[in-house]
Amino acid sequence: MVFNSLTFVVFFLIVVCFHYAPFSWQVKKFNLLIFSYIFYAAWNPPFILLLWASTVVDWWMAKLIYREERPRQRKRLLLVSLALNLGMLSYFKYGAFALKNWQALMGAIGVAYVPPAWDIVLPIGISFYTFVTLSYTLDVYLKRAKPGDSFLDFALFVTYFPHLVAGPIVRPIDLMPQFATPRVASRPLFLWGLALIVLGLFQKVVVADTLLAEVAEDVFGARQPLPPLDAWAGVIAFSGQIFADFAGYSTCAIGVSLCLGFSLPVNFRYPYAAIGFSDFWRRWHISLSTWLRDYLYIPLGGNRGSRWRTYRNLMLTMLLGGLWHGANWTFVVWGGLHGLYLSGERFLRERFGWKGEPRSLVPKLLVALLTYLLVCITWVFFRAPDFAAAGKLLADMAGLRPSAPPIIATVPLALTAITMGAMFTAHWLMRDRELEDVVARRPAWLVGLVVGVMAAAVILAQGEGSAFIYFQF
């Protein structure tokens, strides 16, 4: 079940009716839990058992860790949680990857190893909900929080359907306290939630799937050499597609949640207006970048040691962050490039004493443009199926392969340019603003008109309801 489907519209209407029916708060929470399991079961019902196992084990491990005073025993209990969550993630997501690499290693030393067929289906959202449950156990272990008193609240925190399959990656402090008291949305909040759903669907259905997907698919799927203009157009189109697709999901999730009276954290803050790479990661997939910072980078030592230890910690964090995205070495390189960018930026800031952003507009724009172009290079490895395809596309972008006829027609090329120009302008104008504040200062008729136009565009462009890109992670 995806947000951009009629099935979800019916499902959401039923959820809203039950949530605003005259039931007790306990019953309403139980209803939300059941509906969340139904939402997840729409893909593959047996995988509910994995979700349930992760929920139960982390609930009890956190309780036992909190009561235990002996450091060694606390570590052992934490290892149980880590073994279950990371074990499930490794088996389902990285099992085939491990076998493939083991086969290559054996072949390199002359052993003809033939691995068994790997027909395991990847449970949707497993990368997200394992991080959600781990944050609960780790917070208790690190004595940042106490375990909850209500198993129902914890189970709902893990399975709450708006964030379940593609984030934001919520922390216990983000959501569990909201379940303690009855929650309903006021009329303005409900309308704002609906407007965010429309905005999210517009980003996904119109921008990502309709305006940008064709050019990106044609370029990344091309078998022949490409002219530099076509190669760059495809990569830039993908940069816009993946932002609109993923930010669209997060915006829908926040909007759906607001309609029920709950608040989810913002996951994107106009990342293509970032001035530098640390600024980019403060704006892109915020729930993941802060998770990696708090549970990996800081425990590794963060920036508390020497300069080279800091660079090492940055690289390890980003390499693992890349691997989290997918079982392919191309994702590791994607993360590694971001690690290099962050390390290089840190080195330059320390070397030349740069403590903030440039003050004047032109240097800001130049640094933002350089940041974006280098990020686009990383998207090549993120999207390409293998290194051979990535290398060919990078060579085409640099004009290093024989010239070939263009494959992108004038109209799609123009639509990509207009769409991305509008996206960059919007990101730049909004980089230091909040959408709620901007909308609040506009007349209601204008806001209604804009939302109505976006809704009409979604209806006109809606096709088969393609899945969001991040569902595969």
Alpha carbon 179 to chain centroid, angstroms: 24
pLDDT of 440-460, one tens digit each? 999 999 999 999 999 999 988
8 occurs within a structural domain: no
Residues 129 and 194 in one domain: no
Residue 305: strand, helix, or coil:
coil
Is the pLDDT higher at 355 or at 5? 5
Burial class (CB in 10 A: 0-12, 13-18, 19+), 191: middle
The count of other CB atoms within 10 Å of the CB of residue 44 is: 13
pLDDT above 90 (res 233): yes
Q: In the structure encoding, which two tokens stand for residue 142, read together?
A: 């690190």
Note whether residue 232 is domain-resident.
Answer: yes
Domain identity same for 219 and 105: no
Are residues 123 and 165 located together in one domain of the fold? yes
Active site residues: 325
Is 22 a member of any domain? no
User: Amino acid letter at 65?
Assistant: I
108 and 82 both lie in a single domain: yes
- Measured between alpha carbons, how far is 206 from 461 in angstroms, rounded to an integer? 6
| 141 HSE (CA, 13 A, CB side) | 24
Q: Among 151, 183, 215, which residue terminates a domain?
A: 183
| One domain, residues 111 and 206 | no
Give tens-digit pLDDT for 150-186.
999 999 999 999 998 887 999 999 999 999 999 999 9
- The reported pLDDT for the residue numbered 3 is 82
pTM to 2 decimal places: 0.92
Alpha helices in 20-167 (DSSP H): 25-41, 48-67, 71-108, 126-141, 151-159, 161-164
150 and 202 share one domain: no
- Alpha carbon distance 464, 444 (integer Å): 33
Instruction: Decide: 8 and 467 in contact? Cβ < 8 Å.
Output: no
- In this structure, the number of other CB atoms found within 10 A of the CB of residue 12 comes to 20
Q: Which two tokens stand for residue 267?
A: 């996951």
Is 164 found in the same domain as 207? Answer: no
How confident is residue 424, by pLDDT bands cut at 50, 70 and 90?
A: very high
Is the bond preceding 168 in cis, omega lying within 30 degrees of 0?
yes
Q: Which two tokens stand for residue 118?
A: 């790997």
Q: What is the DSSP string of 130-171?
A: HHHHHHHHHHHHTTSSPPPS-HHHHHHHHH-HHHHTT-----
The DSSP-derived string for 375-428 is: HHHHHHHHHSSSHHHHHHHHHHHTT-S------S-HHHHHHHHHHHHHHHHHHH
Residue 177 sits in the same domain as residue 289: no
Q: Which residues of 421-438 are buried (b: 16+ CB within 10 A; e: fewer)?
A: eebbeebeeebeeebeee
CB 322 within 8 A of CB 332: yes
**Per the structure block, which two tokens stand in for 57?**
């084990």
Cα–Cα distance, 211 to 468 (Å, whole number): 15
pLDDT in tens, 274-327: 999 999 999 999 999 999 999 999 999 988 888 899 999 999 999 999 999 988
Domain hosting residue 235, numbered range: 189-472
Same domain assignment for residues 123 and 231: no
Verify that 447 and 321 share a domain, yes or no. Answer: yes
Domain assignment present for 5: no
- Residue 26 within any structural domain of the chain: no
Q: How many CB atoms lie within 10 A of CB 82?
A: 17
Same domain, 159 and 219: no
Task: With a cut of 60, say whether residue 397 has pLDDT above it.
Answer: yes
What's the full length of the chain, in residues? 473
Residue 471: the pLDDT is: 61
- Mean pLDDT for 224-232 is 94
d(CA 163, CA 169): 7
Considering its fold, how many domains does the chain have in total?
2
Section 243-257 average pLDDT: 95
The CA–CA distances, whole Å, from 155 to 51, 62, 144 equal 10, 13, 20
Q: Classify residue 326: in a domain, yes or no.
A: yes
CA 404 to chain centre: 36
The gap from C-alpha 472 to its chain's centroid, in whole angstroms, comes to 11
Is the distance from CB of 11 to CB of 252 less than 8 angstroms? no
Whether 414 has a pLDDT exceeding 80, the answer reads yes
Average per-residue pLDDT for the chain: 91
Place of tokens 């030592």: 301
Is residue 24 a part of any domain in this protein? no
Say how far apart CA 8 and CA 27 lie, in whole Å. Answer: 22
Could you tell me the two tokens for 371?
């940041």
What is the amino acid identity at position 183? R
Q: Is 76 helix (H, G, I), strand (E, B) or coil?
A: helix
- Model confidence at 102, pLDDT cuts 50, 70, 90, reads confident
> Is 154 within 8 Å of 136 (Cβ atoms)?
yes
End position of a domain, from candidates 154, 183, 212? 183
| Integer-rounded Cα radius of gyration of the chain | 23
Contact (CB, 8 A) for 292 and 342: no
Residue 1 in any domain: the answer is no
Residues 62 and 130 in one domain: yes
Say which DSSP state 206 is in: I
126-141 and 48-67 helices, crossing angle to 10°: 10
> How confident is residue 104, by pLDDT bands cut at 50, 70 and 90?
confident
Q: Which two tokens stand for residue 419?
A: 């769409």
Angle at 50 between CA 122 and CA 102, to 5 degrees: 45
